[in-house]
Chains A and B, each alone.
Chain A
């Protein structure tokens, strides 16, 4: 495929849409369908907001969407659970997602830039290996990763979740597209003529030019780690190291024998989604993801 239609990729905060698209006669059917979609998507979120205000008894007795007044009590109970273990899970999750996301973005940016802008022996091989890595299903990795990390005594530590999160073949693939589209070769030549070394050029010229794309890669990986369940579930035994997903899963399991725990689980679920929802609403403009970017157009 000798294609070079790699158009500048969308995540580079696309230009405002042409006005033609927004100003047409509105269609009731389209409005109804879109609203139905929104209701479907929001329903569980609205429910958890209401349910977290119920008392333990009300959760199973009052009408699903009838609010109550116990939200603060529930948050108090959640915070009191084993000396604030829940907040520790929250902090752990932020650590895993923040550090893992940042590290994988830097690693991907460097690799993507090298693959996009340098010629070197082995480049094709490296790129093909990484491309194959995009399609590797996580199932094959989980158990051997655990066993290999166990051999060096790293399971049940922060590292066991952080290190495997730092490599994302898809992030490298995206960064390669961003670098190819956003960094003109002439700029690199100019930097070289001015006497800048490769590392200096990377830090001062290339990374700033790729910034918008890098934010997208970071968000991708941040959300992937924040939402991940299997890796920490397998790696961690000490519940002081758990992220929210594994912690809440454990709480729900306890609910089977102590139904009073259920309202704590519901409250925990509500609070656990607030940070990511805030992040989403705040950074919406970066979510213009074009997975097929650079692909052949039919």
Chain B
């Protein structure tokens, strides 16, 4: 965008050239349009289309795309694999999000209270898994889950107890959830910890002099103040959790329990790239996206949208 340099010097309110903000925004808006807005619109369009096969389905003209109404949605929602995957991910979210954020908050409060000498070591260690890609984290845990590798099997074996194979049956969900908690706690801890550090000390020093315990200070003063950070971490965790993909895809070769439709996103992938049914996949992804967006947006509205402020500039 070279527009700005040619624009006559019509002063804006702040006395600068009127074209400048648009040229600064141009790269972002072009990329946003091409790689976010257009794909979303295209997904919506595809979800309403289908292929019509005429005659024997041979030759170039035999396959044409026609409007399908809502039939893809009906097909997607009534797919016997879909609802189980939604339940599974719902349960998975109910495990992961509270466990991860609860641990993150606990660790952040412990660090902030400053009553330990292992603070720096623990903070760095707990944050470290954020540097490990979900694929690699799943790979490491995946091996550790194998009975032939797991140290738990050895220890329990000595005690005469047979350890369960956590990559089978109902254990699998917990095994995957553990990977997500392991990978996500540190980052959320740092986010919460940063907000805690920003609280002016005098806000709770007075309470401390009056004899309030660390626990009371945490619950009555610190947690309410960092609530906006908690809301943000909650929303981002929720969005990430509902789209779980890399962990089960990586564990799949190690576990017979994980099918190719184990999570909704895995089903979208299978429909699009294994079955070449992009229409049904588009419909399913629209359903997931709308549901995710509704949940996160609804949650932000519910808590009064305290996390994103929009009008301070």
Do A and B interact?
yes
A residues bordering B, Cβ < 8 Å? 1-7, 10, 14, 17-18, 20-27, 30-31, 33-35, 37-38, 40-45, 47-48, 51, 59-61, 63-65, 106-108, 110-111, 113-120, 123, 126-131, 133, 135-148, 163-164, 166-167, 169, 172-173, 176, 180, 185, 188-189, 192, 197-199, 202, 223, 226-230, 233-234, 244-246, 248-249, 252-253, 255-256, 262, 265-266, 269, 272-273, 276-277, 279-281, 284, 287-292, 294-298
Give 17 new A-B contacts, CB below 8 A, not counting A35-B118, A106-B27, A291-B236: A14-B198, A27-B115, A38-B126, A118-B16, A120-B18, A126-B29, A137-B292, A139-B265, A140-B39, A140-B43, A143-B272, A144-B39, A230-B246, A234-B269, A246-B135, A248-B135, A296-B306
Flag if B229 contacts A292 (CB, 8 Å).
yes
Would A292 and B195 count as touching, CB distance under 8 A? yes
Contact residues in B for A163 (Cβ distance below 8 Å): 31, 34-35
Q: Are A167 and B35 closer than 8 Å at their CB atoms?
A: yes
What is the interface residue range for chain B against chain A?
35 or more
Question: How many inter-chain contacts with C-beta < 8 Å in the A-B complex?
Answer: 375
Query: How would you classify the secondary structure of chain A's contact residues: helix, strand, loop or mixed?
Result: helix
Task: Tell yes or no: B313 within 8 A of A by CB.
Answer: yes
Minimum C-beta distance from B136 to chain A (A): 5
User: Closest Cβ of chain A: how far from B176's Cβ, in Å?
Assistant: 14
B1-31 interface code vs A (CB 8 A; 1 in, 0 out): 0001100000011111110111111011101
Contact between A284 and B124, CB atoms less than 8 A apart = yes
Select the stretch in B65-73, B162-170, B277-285 that faces chain A: B277-285
- Give the dominant DSSP class at B's interface: helix
Which 5 pairs of residues, A with B, have the shortest CB-CB distance? A292-B228, A111-B28, A144-B39, A140-B289, A38-B125
Q: Is there contact, CB below 8 Å, between B135 and A249?
A: yes
Q: How long is the Cα–Cα vector from A198 to B297 in the complex, in angstroms?
A: 36
Assess whether A31 is in contact with B21, with CB atoms less than 8 Å apart.
no
Report the minimal beta-carbon distance from B183 to chain A, rounded to whole angstroms: 9
Chain B interface (Cβ < 8 Å from any Cβ of A): 4-5, 12-18, 20-25, 27-29, 31-32, 34-36, 38-40, 42-43, 46, 103, 106-107, 110-119, 121-122, 124-137, 139-144, 146, 148-151, 154, 182, 185-186, 190-191, 194-195, 197-198, 201, 205, 214, 224-229, 231-233, 235-236, 239, 242-243, 245-246, 249-250, 253-254, 264-265, 268-269, 272-273, 278, 281-282, 285-286, 288-289, 292-293, 296-297, 305-313
